Structure 1
Amino acid sequence: MHNNWPRALPLVVALSSLSALAQAQTLSFNLPAASLATTLNRIASQSGHIIALEPELVRGKQAPAVVGQMSAEQAMQAALAGSGLQLRVTASGHFSVAPASLGGDVMELGATSVTDNYLNATSEGSGSYAARAVTLGKGTHTLKEIPQSVTVITRKQLDDQGITDLKDALNHTTGIVGAQGIGPGMVITSRGFQIDDWQYDGVPIPRNNYSLGNWATQDLVFFDRVEILRGSSGLLQGTGSPGGAINLVRKRGQAAPTVSITGKAGSWDHYGLQLDAGGPLTSSGNVRGRVVVDEDQSDSFIDYQWSKTHSLYGALDIDLNDSTTIGGGISYSREQSRPMLRGIPRYTTGKAVDLPRSTYTGARWSRAETDATTYYLDLEHRFNDDWAFKAAAVRMDETNTSTHQRVQSSGQGVAADGSGLTYADWITDFHNTKLGLDMNVVGHFDTGALAHEITLGGNYSKLTSDDAYWRKFSPTTDNLFDIDHDRPEPSRDSLLAGPIGRHNKASYDIRQKGLYGAWRIKPTEDLTLVVGTRVSWFDYSWDSIDFNNPTDAGTRYPTSRMTESGEVTPYAGFVYDLTREWSWYASYTDVFTPQTERAAGETALKPIIGSNYETGFKGELFDGRVNTSIAVFRYDQENRAVTDMNSECGDYFCSMASGKVRSQGVEAEISGEVVSGLQLFAGYTYNTTKYLDDPDNEGRTFSQWTPKHMLRTWADYTLPVDGQRWSTGLGFTTQSHTLGYESTYTVPGYTVWSGRVAYQLTPEINLAVNANNLFDKKYWVAGFNQLNGSNNYGEPRNFMLTVKYTPQF
């Protein structure tokens, strides 16, 4: 659970407290079986005590009947019997509950007591890879309560592995591929399908709509953790990916002051410095702040390539009263770089060209800049113990500009001697604004012995863009083994001169809105049923105009439009508690995905429709210190767009809806402290994707860059010597081969190892060295690997020294 717990302080359910003597007073109780929260509240009310209840601890738990003469403490112990929770009593006589056998000190906050270690379980300071709860859906639930596959990459794991950007994080977790796009950004896929809408604090916005290639990037310096749902996310974000959802949960001010200063230095002149500070800004703690300042610069193992990133973040959370909290933040990130775009071509046979990993195919004047400013605003109001309202908004203003050279083959690959090249000069100028809104009410109530949870809400997202690019392709007699990095730098006018220049202006306007609802009910103590639905509206338009010389009036293409109204997406599932630690679950989701490709006659294709099935087992072991799961999944999809080679739409072929595809497989994952001092993450995925019914591709793989086998592991062990100052980490990522874009050749799989050694020099200073690609494996990363380009080497062996100073308050 994110460590913004002062925003949701456990509610005081009694209005006065008694002395320690009064605690032992014998009272007469006659309470029927009911939900645990209700019973504990009634005991507190009848006895005149204060009890602090963290809602996620008691949610869904039942209490037996409490009947007889006993003290309030004895009555509460009776209610907690078999719940896996224990009663805590503070020195001032207030009650709270915590997981049985959970360590950690009890922390006093006026009339409220909480177990600090528990509330930090999914955020900074927890020291754990196991997440106790997630906010990926609406409300907060444990992983075991969600009948789909969920992974949380905690701040502890991110820091241990030295992960600072989203693509790297996703490529170290279960079942996700963060592929290099045709551009500096990335394409995220899960179970063979792209995830183009990313969530920020639960609010989805589109992050992969550009007029040219893929430019979406995201560093993680502003975020506490990454929550990942695999399987259809339509109920959460409408026409979201059938593959899953990504939720980035931002850092917020904590209840206690926290300051850290981190410096790093590594291979290829990689240097960085970060200040991260936050905490209460008032004596009562009702105002909390957070600020992050981060500077990072690095050269590269690739000749001439470099980057500099400047990041700034500020946030405030204000408790307006005991029931209402408002939060806001703003982040700014600017990256300047000399990138290599489109990588290296392949031979016409599909074989990779064996070039040094330092090979650069751009020009010395190549440059790119990305600026992104993001605004966050949310409000939470707690009506009582059981009902809460939340509204949240995210706005992102993004600019991507570049002047760069690409090298690609003139045809399908280069000749054996490296000839057959084309220089492609580009200037890009992309601007877009993304807006997301979400409002929901989550409530809990009982009808007799039945516990219910109701979620009702709606969300809206909007993307508008103003994009332009200029480009010219120039065939050359130069050789791939002797690339010219000093060709003349182009201008916009020079790229339009001659018959092969082109200037394109385009704009997107994409809007989505929906209403959703979900109902969780416990017909028995061990069974939870979940049903839900969403009604979605989707509007899409794309305008484009081409100019072929400086005086050209331009050729405007017909506006591509697509509208879908009132599409219903149902969802159903169950969770059955086999034991206190293990549960069995299953879920079914309809999938609705609009398609923006155009059919002959400029008509929009029918939406993709499909069905997603999943079943498996989840475990919360060792009092929640370890999460584990195993899942079997299948997704069938129809109406997928394929190229129609017999018709043209604008300057390219039209598309047609054709056939049926299937993605299916098995996933297994474990995370947390498996033995004392050893934090482990391990995730395995077996995934096949095939065309089941298609005029040209039946039986073939449809997701070229989804490996059939993926295994990602990392373990960090605190050595029981020298006062536990030393820790060491080791892990690897391995995957089987993928296919190239043309599906006529394979991209070999690989195994890459990483390690870490850390030493706690003083209570305030930590030293760590991370080593990536320990055995210096030479490999090609999976992605858009094409015959004419986009083949990129993985990083060679490299090191990073980190010094972190954390003052003790």
Structure 2
Amino acid sequence: MRPSRVSRTALLLSSAFALVLMPALSHAADAASDKGAEVVVIGKRVIKGSAGATGLDLSLRETPQSVTVVSSAQIRDFGLSDANQLLVTIPGINVEADETDRTYYNSRGFDIINFQVDGVGQPLDWGLQVGALDTAIYDRVEAIRGATGMLTGTGNPSATINYIRKRPTKTFQADVTAGYGSWNDLRLTADVSGPLNKDGTLAGRFVYAHTSSDSYLDYYSVDRSVYYGVLSYDITPRLKLTGGYSQQDNLADGVTWGALPLNYTDGTPIPYKVSASSAAPWTYWNTHDHQSFAELSYAFDNGWTVKGIYTRKSYNEDAKLLYPGGNPDKTTGLDPTSDNGAGDLGITAYSGIYPSIIKQDMFDVIATGDVSLFGREHQVVFGINSAHAASYKWERFAAFFNYGAILNGVVPAPPEPTYPDAYLAEQIKTDTTRAYGAIHLNLTDRLKGIVGFNAVNLKSIGASYGVGEDRSEDKVSPYVGAVYDVSKNVSLYASYSDIFNPQSQSDINFHRFDAATGKSYEAGLKSDWFDGRLYATAAAFKSEQYGLAEFAGYLQSTNPAGAGYNADPALAGKAYYVGIDTLVKGYELEVAGKLTADWTLNGGWTDLTIKDPQGNTVRNYLPRKTLKLATTYAVPHLRDLKLGADLRWQSDVSTTSAGYPFVQKAYAVADLMGSIRVTDRIRATLNVKNAFDKTYFGGLQWDQAFYAAPRSVMLTLDYKY
């Protein structure tokens, strides 16, 4: 049983302030603000650059790929407390919220399946984020759009998301926040960091965050806690050891699996309330994510650095889910095609209990440094990565039963069925070995080039829901790029990479797809202005991907003449896929930085086409045009007043429901913020999300959907020491 919200809140508040006051008394002399890692912040973006895009320490001007970095300032200003809220603000990235607790991400026409923490790859089940990933432990988030040949060697030509953890600081600092908002949304955080010995060679940092919230959706609520601790030890001036542990427990009740049917059987849209949900009060989706890591780095006299990293991830999940299928008749609210053995009494539903365990061990060795060739210095990186992953999933699948009638947009809550004993539905072990290298060629004072490769070997054994997962695949992906400085403010760039995307989806005969392959190109212009305070880019891109698995439907056991028929009733309701070839072309514009000392502007425009080889548009649930634009304006003499707005617009998207098209017209959503210094140490921030209360669906990837959140308000008090 969970503790009551009142007792839990009192406990968390007292614990959070104790974390601040106790270190503050013993470290009062060190209360100067920490400078942290040396980065240059322009507006809300960290503009200096990152090794995340190529493995090389390059500025954004020197990187021949599109890179956006979201800083801690933007996260704080706009209350981006989870990854879904954060990623939706990044130019060129879309967040498909098709279910309450399972989210897809895409960019440049393809799903994003590559996610990293501090540059180390993290396992996501089919690229899905289950539960909301809390941002409290991250200093910034990098989005590298386009090909993944240099970064990971596998994946789609979409993007790689790299979460950069907070690290210990050399001087003491503490930060505690408490926020309360719509639907009883309570948010508490504590972040304490500083030296742990007199000479500062040992430092630590602890972060805690807690969210407890009801929802605008019927039945839905979330209780999420995050813990993070990290230590860094300078063994010698050249040898450094860092280790840490994080844990996120995400407990969600009243969750959706699938969502609401969009059309009646005659093609008429169903008029739901914004709060409508296909969930039931007895459903839940609980996840527990544990990660530990250790890094040992040594800096040689000649400037070379060698780093070894070990990462351990243990992910446990337990869910009781309810899935409705079919479309209701407009007059009766029943599904005329259903046959669940009970006489066509409503929408057909099924439910199951799904415990699962995913474990992964990763080892990385990375060497970076400079070499002299032809009288010039060139930067080099090479590394080896080895990962072992094991996935175990159980299922307790209830028989098909009546969901009930959906009439006039009123959604029933069906009773909980009985469940059989669990069986092991998936057992897969995967070993991945990767070797990579790149050189940043300093060809002339104006012309720089990058040549690299990524060699991947992937082996797996096991089975998943009746599909054999035994395989052995390998691929060497080349990566080439060039940057030419036209002037001190403007650079031209171009890059190319192969595509190699191993897949787990299966076709109608339950045969797993081979890896999708292809090519990705990008060219553009990068510039910085006003002494580096403003960064602006323009990019054109093209991708060709062949054999990509695309959802086609669900297997049926009751209709032998229908598509997807399979004689085994146990396989009914399982998804199957078809392979498609996809061609994407488009361009992006982006700006990030300060127009004046007090006025920031960040955002971008994306325009693309997604077609098959015959010229037909595909993946129509993805918007072809998107605009992201955020701005803040500070008034220092008015108690550091800051006002801001974040605008997101996207073009039409569509899907098919009951055999009829369903279109969501173009829409815009605006978030507003304002903050002011109440005292020398306390700042108050008011965030208004979806300020104009726009009604829209969170995603149309399937033939089901539910409405995104209406207007909400949160007030946060931030205490810094």
Instruction: Place the TM-score, normalised by the shorter chain, in its bin.
Output: 0.7 to 0.9
Segment of structure 1 superposing worse, 379-388 or 529-538: 379-388
Residue 492 in structure 1 maps to residue 419 in structure 2: yes
Shift of 1:573: 0.8
Equivalent residue for 1:436? 362
Query: Is the 8 Å Cα contact of residues 389 and 430 (structure 2) preserved in structure 1?
Result: yes
Structure 1 332/350 Cα, relative in aligned 2: closer, same or farther at 3 Å?
farther
Helix, strand or coil at the partner of 2:301: coil
Mapped to 1, the partners of 2:666 and 2:197 lie a distance apart of 54
From 603, 610, 625, the counterpart of 1:682: 603
Mapped to 1, the partners of 2:159 and 2:656 lie a distance apart of 23
User: Which residue identity is paired with 1:589?
Assistant: S
From 438, 445, 454, the counterpart of 1:525: 445
Helix, strand or coil at the partner of 2:183: coil
Mapped to 2, the partners of 1:117 and 1:223 lie a distance apart of 13
From 690, 695, 710, the counterpart of 1:796: 710
Query: Is the 8 Å Cα contact of residues 428 and 464 (structure 2) preserved in structure 1?
Result: no
User: Which residue identity is paired with 1:475?
Assistant: N
Residue 119 in structure 1 maps to residue 38 in structure 2: yes
Query: Is the 8 Å Cα contact of residues 152 and 454 (structure 2) preserved in structure 1?
Result: no
Helix, strand or coil at the partner of 2:91: coil
Query: Is the 8 Å Cα contact of residues 177 and 189 (structure 1) preserved in structure 2?
Result: yes
Shift of 1:397: 1.0
Mapped to 1, the partners of 2:241 and 2:103 lie a distance apart of 33
The gaps in structure 2 that reach 5 residues or longer are 1-29, 336-346, 554-562
Query: Is the 8 Å Cα contact of residues 184 and 339 (structure 1) preserved in structure 2?
Result: no
Equivalent residue for 1:192? 109
Shift of 1:637: 1.6
Residue 375 in structure 1 maps to residue 315 in structure 2: no
Shift of 1:624: 2.5
Equivalent residue for 2:615? 699
Equivalent residue for 1:561? 470
Mapped to 2, the partners of 1:516 and 1:777 lie a distance apart of 46
Mapped to 2, the partners of 1:216 and 1:270 lie a distance apart of 16
Structure 1 218/414 Cα, relative in aligned 2: closer, same or farther at 3 Å?
farther
Across the two proteins, how many residue pairs are aligned to each other? 657
Shift of 1:512: 1.8
Shift of 1:310: 1.2
Shift of 1:164: 0.9
Structure 1 458/687 Cα, relative in aligned 2: closer, same or farther at 3 Å?
same
Shift of 1:674: 1.9
Equivalent residue for 1:445? 371
Helix, strand or coil at the partner of 2:671: strand
Shift of 1:774: 1.0
Query: Is the 8 Å Cα contact of residues 185 and 214 (structure 2) preserved in structure 1?
Result: yes
User: Which residue identity is paired with 1:191?
Assistant: R
The gaps in structure 1 that reach 5 residues or longer are 1-108, 110-114, 497-501, 546-556, 693-697
Residue 265 in structure 1 maps to residue 180 in structure 2: yes
CA deviations 1:759-798 (Å, max 9, x no partner) are: 1122211011010111111111224341xx3x12111111
Query: Is the 8 Å Cα contact of residues 755 and 771 (structure 1) preserved in structure 2?
Result: yes
Shift of 1:155: 0.6
User: Which residue identity is paired with 1:593?
Assistant: N
Equivalent residue for 1:244? 159
Equivalent residue for 2:385? 459
CA deviations 1:44-82 (Å, max 9, x no partner) are: xxxxxxxxxxxxxxxxxxxxxxxxxxxxxxxxxxxxxxx
Query: Is the 8 Å Cα contact of residues 747 and 782 (structure 1) preserved in structure 2?
Result: no
Shift of 1:182: 5.1
Higher relative contact order (CA 8 A, sep 6+): 2
After TM superposition, list the pairs within 5 Å mapping 1:664-743 onto structure 2.
664-692=585-613, 698-722=614-638, 725-740=640-655
Mapped to 2, the partners of 1:309 and 1:595 lie a distance apart of 31
Shift of 1:133: 1.9
From 470, 484, 495, the counterpart of 2:396: 470
Structure 1 725/656 Cα, relative in aligned 2: closer, same or farther at 3 Å?
closer
Structure 1 655/464 Cα, relative in aligned 2: closer, same or farther at 3 Å?
same
Query: Is the 8 Å Cα contact of residues 129 and 672 (structure 1) preserved in structure 2?
Result: yes
Equivalent residue for 1:142? 59
Mapped to 2, the partners of 1:376 and 1:300 lie a distance apart of 35
Shift of 1:559: 2.5
Helix, strand or coil at the partner of 2:81: coil
Equivalent residue for 1:624? 532
Residue 327 in structure 1 maps to residue 242 in structure 2: yes
Mapped to 2, the partners of 1:653 and 1:800 lie a distance apart of 39
Shift of 1:365: 2.1
After TM superposition, list the pairs within 5 Å mapping 1:571-650 onto structure 2.
571-598=479-506, 605-641=513-549
Helix, strand or coil at the partner of 2:61: helix
Residue 663 in structure 1 maps to residue 587 in structure 2: no
From 52, 61, 78, the counterpart of 1:161: 78
Structure 1 615/159 Cα, relative in aligned 2: closer, same or farther at 3 Å?
same
Shift of 1:799: 0.4
Shift of 1:458: 1.5
User: Which residue identity is paired with 1:462?
Assistant: H
Mapped to 2, the partners of 1:435 and 1:246 lie a distance apart of 20
Segment of structure 1 superposing worse, 184-193 or 243-252: 184-193
Mapped to 1, the partners of 2:242 and 2:319 lie a distance apart of 35
Query: Is the 8 Å Cα contact of residues 561 and 604 (structure 1) preserved in structure 2?
Result: no
Shift of 1:699: 2.8
Shift of 1:414: 5.0
Mapped to 2, the partners of 1:269 and 1:298 lie a distance apart of 5
CA deviations 1:426-484 (Å, max 9, x no partner) are: 22212111233322111113335422111111112333111112233213553344444
User: Which residue identity is paired with 1:634?
Assistant: K
Shift of 1:183: 6.5
Shift of 1:700: 2.7
CA deviations 1:222-270 (Å, max 9, x no partner) are: 1111101111112211212221211000001112211001000101111
Shift of 1:216: 5.8
Aligned-residue Cα RMSD (Å) equals 2.7
Mapped to 2, the partners of 1:202 and 1:186 lie a distance apart of 22
Equivalent residue for 2:202? 287
Residue 305 in structure 1 maps to residue 214 in structure 2: no
Equivalent residue for 1:52? none
Helix, strand or coil at the partner of 1:156: helix
Max Rg structure: 1
Structure 1 378/300 Cα, relative in aligned 2: closer, same or farther at 3 Å?
same
Q: TM-score with structure 1 length normalisation?
A: 0.77
Shift of 1:278: 0.3
Mapped to 2, the partners of 1:677 and 1:769 lie a distance apart of 19
Shift of 1:127: 6.8
After TM superposition, list the pairs within 5 Å mapping 1:536-551 onto structure 2.
536-544=456-464
CA deviations 1:104-130 (Å, max 9, x no partner) are: xxxxx9xxxxx95981435xxx87434
Mapped to 2, the partners of 1:218 and 1:773 lie a distance apart of 21
Q: Percent identity?
A: 26
Query: Is the 8 Å Cα contact of residues 143 and 150 (structure 1) preserved in structure 2?
Result: yes
From 202, 210, 213, the counterpart of 2:119: 202
CA deviations 1:704-753 (Å, max 9, x no partner) are: 3321110011111102533x521101121010112226694323231011
Shift of 1:489: 3.2
Query: Is the 8 Å Cα contact of residues 431 and 466 (structure 1) preserved in structure 2?
Result: yes
Mapped to 1, the partners of 2:510 and 2:622 lie a distance apart of 31
Query: Is the 8 Å Cα contact of residues 44 and 602 (structure 2) preserved in structure 1?
Result: no
User: Which residue identity is paired with 1:799?
Assistant: V
Equivalent residue for 2:23? none
Structure 1 763/640 Cα, relative in aligned 2: closer, same or farther at 3 Å?
same
User: Which residue identity is paired with 1:134?
Assistant: S
Shift of 1:351: 4.7
Query: Is the 8 Å Cα contact of residues 598 and 655 (structure 1) preserved in structure 2?
Result: yes
Mapped to 2, the partners of 1:432 and 1:733 lie a distance apart of 35
Helix, strand or coil at the partner of 2:130: coil
Equivalent residue for 2:671? 754
Shift of 1:366: 2.1
